[in-house]
Amino acid sequence: MSTPSPFWSNQTSNFTERDDGFDEVGFGKGDFKMYHDNSTLNGWPYFNLHGYAHWAIILSIVIAGTIGNIMLFIMVSDSKLASLSYTVYLKFMAFCDCLALIVGMYLQTEEYFNLPKLANMSNTIIKIVIGFEFLPTFLSPWLVVGFTLDRFVCVCFPLKREIFCTRKKAIAVCSCMVAATIVLVIPILDISELVMSDNLVYYIIVFRMVLSSTLPCIIILVLNIFITVRIKRGNEFRSTFIRHSANPTKDSSTRPLVLISVLAFVTLLPMSVSDIINLVSYLLEAGREVVIITDRLWPALNIIYSLNLGQNFFILIGSSQNYRQIIKRKLRCFTVKGRQTRPN
């Protein structure tokens, strides 16, 4: 969810020189149209985030995020958590986010170091690359939506929890999301045939800017508002009966999970806003300066978005002693097993 997608720089190999001080970028790598500035906009925003420093920051986030997602997968596989519905969403999110981090890192490395592009090798490879670019971009925020909806039912309708928040239903929901994403990505693979009809262009705009950016953020925001209000009311109700508790409002099981959803919204929002701004500028064929500014800000927005792909594990262990104990126990088990398998 960037301009035009997370990890994709606002650049392409299809440049056409213009007489008005801009390089017009063709519809490449999903870009609908971007303009690279040859002027200065009076020097604003007075900095340039593009460069190897940005690549190094993303690399560190990718390494930490990938390790975190692997640890998250191990942690939620614990016997005490394996039967809970939300762990299914966390496992799908961990795998999808790892894929997005690795693919995105490769694409940026390809751009920054001018490596041979896989997409130029064959038509089949082009389709594979496009598929791997779009699938995690679309799927990741909707997995967060599913996870947030699961928390919404548990918090706001606790009596319905045993009916709707089951492991089997969570697997069914996640599987349907994966299948729906594949179906929606198939038309975009026509890009590899270089048949860029107006219908396909607008399909990509709707797909990228609405389905994989704006709409998930709106749903996550609305659900989190209801969850937060319900938790606050529940705490106020309990506090009227538990006057002498040291911490009557503490909810160690719910709040770390809600925090994942809230921070997901926070880290998705900047890219979503950037997408909307560029979409409006494109549809109105105006606001070229705005597009230039968002292009300059894209590395910072990309860093914020990439944090979303690797933060879940660190949120859980940072906000809950229970999860810290679980991961310590899991790591201790792996250490003991490793010692037992070593030859004497």
Could you write out the DSSP letters of every residue in 209-245? IIIIIIHHHHHHHHHHHHHHHHHHHHHHHHHTT-TT-
Phi, psi of 233 (to 5 degrees): -65, -40
What is residue 198's predicted lDDT score, i.e. its pLDDT? 60
State in words which class domain 46-263+300-341 has.
mainly alpha
Cα atoms found within 13 Å of the Cα of residue 127, Cβ hemisphere only: 10
What is residue 5's predicted lDDT score, i.e. its pLDDT? 46
The structure tokens listed for 113 are 């170091």
Q: What does the domain layout of the chain look like in residue ranges?
A: 46-263+300-341
Cβ neighbour number for residue 12 with a 10 Å cutoff: 18
Q: What is the DSSP letter of 119?
A: G
What is residue 250's predicted lDDT score, i.e. its pLDDT? 46
What is residue 106's predicted lDDT score, i.e. its pLDDT? 87
For tokens 């064929």, what's the residue?
285
Specify whether the CB–CB gap between 61 and 43 falls below 8 A: no
For tokens 């799927």, what's the residue?
139
Specify whether the CB–CB gap between 118 and 129 falls below 8 A: yes
DSSP count for the chain of H helices, then E strands: 11, 3
Segment (H or E) for 25: strand 22-25
End-to-end CA distance of the chain: 52
| Residue 15 bridge partners (DSSP) | 25
Q: What pTM value is reported for the model?
A: 0.79
Alpha-carbon span 103 to 109, nearest angstrom: 10
Specify whether the CB–CB gap between 290 and 33 falls below 8 A: no
Alpha-carbon span 131 to 125, nearest angstrom: 10
Helix then strand then coil, % of the chain, to nearest 5:
70, 5, 25
Omega prior to 270 cis, within 30 of 0: no
DSSP 36-71: EESS-GGGTT-----SHHHHHHHHHHHHHHHHHHHH
The torsion of the CA quartet 194, 195, 196, 198, rounded to 10 degrees, works out to 180
Q: What is the sign, positive or negative, of the torsion defined by CA atoms of 299, 304, 308, 312?
A: positive
Specify whether the CB–CB gap between 130 and 188 falls below 8 A: yes
3-class state of residue 172 by DSSP: helix
The structure tokens listed for 141 are 């925020």
Instruction: Please report, in tens digits, the pLDDT of each residue of the chain (344 residues total).
Output: 333 344 444 433 332 333 333 333 333 333 333 344 444 455 555 555 667 888 999 999 999 999 999 999 999 988 888 889 999 999 999 999 999 999 889 888 888 888 777 666 677 777 777 777 788 888 999 999 999 999 999 999 988 888 889 999 999 999 999 999 888 888 777 654 545 556 666 666 677 677 777 889 999 999 999 998 988 887 776 666 655 444 444 445 678 889 999 999 999 888 888 877 777 777 776 656 776 777 778 888 889 999 999 999 999 999 888 999 999 888 887 666 656 665 55
